[in-house]
């Protein structure tokens, strides 16, 4: 099914838009290690109780939060998984006009880029 998507203002979207189950649509590793849990993710479940990361192996649990830099209010998703904390810049968030479909692009300092979709 084809959706008409609109880009959301990254400085003003509600954090609640990020909650839910996200499917990894595509990934670009660039210089990121292939063994990193987020590089192997198939689904990210972002809920109030925490984070569940589905990988090709064993699912992992952790925490997540949204942070914004104080100067430009750029949004970041911060993940704590497997004793490691990593931060990803949210570079794009798109949403269908009916709110049923979303696409999210995350860029990590390691060079990993994830494109996530809901549902």
pLDDT digits (tens, 9 = 90+) for 52-61: 999 988 999 9
Average pLDDT, the chain: 94
Low pLDDT (below 50) residues in the chain: none
**Which residues, at least 6 apart from 22, have a Cβ–Cβ distance to it below 8 Å?**
43, 44, 45, 46, 104, 116, 117, 118
Query: In this structure, are residues 46 and 61 in contact, taking their beta carbons and an 8 Å threshold?
Result: no
| Number of alpha carbons in the 13 Å side-chain half-sphere of residue 43 | 12
* pLDDT at 36 (0 to 100): 87
pLDDT digits (tens, 9 = 90+) for 89-104: 999 999 999 989 999 9
> What span, in angstroms and rounded, lies between the C-alpha atoms of 58 and 76?
26
φ, ψ at 85 (rounded to 5°) = -110, 125
Query: Can you give the pTM of this predicted structure?
Result: 0.93
């Amino acid at each position: 099914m084809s959706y008409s998507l609109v880009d959301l203002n990254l400085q003003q979207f509600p954090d609640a838009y990020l909650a839910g189950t996200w499917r990894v649509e595509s990934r670009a590793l660039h210089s990121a290690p292939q063994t990193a849990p987020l590089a192997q993710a198939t689904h990210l479940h972002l809920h109030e109780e925490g984070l569940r990361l589905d990988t090709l192996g064993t699912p992992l649990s952790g925490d997540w939060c949204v942070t914004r830099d104080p100067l430009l209010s750029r949004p970041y998703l911060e993940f704590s998984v497997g004793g490691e904390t990593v931060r990803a810049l949210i570079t794009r968030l798109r949403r269908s006009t009916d709110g049923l479909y979303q696409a999210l692009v995350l860029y990590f300092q390691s060079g990993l880029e994830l494109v996530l979709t809901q549902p």
